[in-house]
A and B are shown apart, each in its own frame.
Chain A
């Protein structure tokens, strides 16, 4: 799950908007732990205060919650994707790539093993 800084918009807004977008699209699961302020700031090449501000805004909007010692996580109410399903989907993607199975083939396999509704 990558975020990228580009264009002239302030970095705080770009970070906030992209994380919000990933949560809304279900690509970040409920209770998924985000990187520390320090790590994300270092990776993006911005000041830690910039990331901290973006996190704070998302927290006040109900997308994230921060617990002492537990880091910053996606709020359970903000994402409809359960963490276990997201982890399993990522494992399926990783294993498929390693086994040289493309997205269409992986989807076909998933459909084939999916229990029928009847």
Chain B
């Protein structure tokens, strides 16, 4: 029982922490950010709910054999290869779903004299947050890419530790082989999100100005939250993988009776990377959870949470 719980924690720890943090934040501060019932609330629930469920199922499929969701081996191999890119893929899908229903543009002889741009309906700190996460991802990616070397298949996903006494050992790591597709997906995610923010900002302000602006703010906030969540889960996955890489060590005989052990140059960072990976991914899931909860229309939240 204890070992099962430990395995479950290893597999789903970040999701559990993230969902709990998201619900806690929602109960304390988030209820003022509820969407009105309607098509936008439905697409928001579908986008965030599907992303969370898909990510959960993926983790389950990749779990140890004692608690694994049945799946073909080819699927498991594919999932292992795309595990870094998967949060970004899910984020792209979720952001595309969030675009619906498309905001309508109807000229009605009335105009607001404020400029509407991509950034008009979001706080600066939301955009700043996304920029900081993107910066962190690029920094970690470039560092890991530069440390990686090609393996026997010529794919840049190997870390080699040279012992200096004629022996070397290596392990797979988050090198360019994994990071370049992820960076491409990151660019697509940002492009899709910016296009959608433009679609939200573009139409004329509706007859009920207050409600219209509030809805645009909520939609902008949810898009940026889904993007931030995807980026953080991706970064968390990368950091956890690098923690595993940092933990690699090996040994070799030295002289007639001696034995020497060797580790990676960043072995000391292993605990930090492990904790950071868990915390960063949990924060990402919290963002997705908050978006999902924002789709519960006013008045239903308390009853829904009481039933849960």
A residues with CB within 8 A of B: 1-6, 19, 22, 28, 33-36, 39-40, 42-45, 71, 97-98
Contacts and interface: CB of A to CB of B under 8 A. Distances in A.
Contacts, number: 53
A2 B113 contact: yes
5 contacts: A1-B113, A2-B113, A35-B112, A39-B115, A42-B105
Interface string B106-122: 01111111111000000
Contacts of B105: 42
Most buried by A among B105, B110, B205: B110
Interface in B168-207: 204-205
Contacts of B108: 45
B209 interface: yes
B113 A22 contact: yes
B40 to A, nearest CB: 20
B2 interface: no
Interface residues of B, number: 16
Contacts of B128: none
B115 A2 contact: no
A22 B113 CA distance: 10
Nearest to B105: A42
A72 B108 CA distance: 23
Nearest to A72: B115
B112 A1 contact: yes
A5 B204 CA distance: 14
Interface in B90-110: 105, 107-110
Contact of A42 (B107, B110, B112, B210): B107
Contact of B209 (A2, A28, A35): A2
A44 B113 contact: no
Contacts of A19: 113
A94 B110 CA distance: 21
Contacts of A3: 110-111, 113
Given A2-B209, A97-B210, A43 B115 contact: no
B107 A33 contact: no
A4 B112 contact: no
A44 B113 CA distance: 11
Given A2-B113, A22-B113, A40-B111, 7 more contacts: A2-B110, A2-B111, A3-B110, A4-B111, A5-B109, A35-B113, A45-B109
A39 B198 CA distance: 12
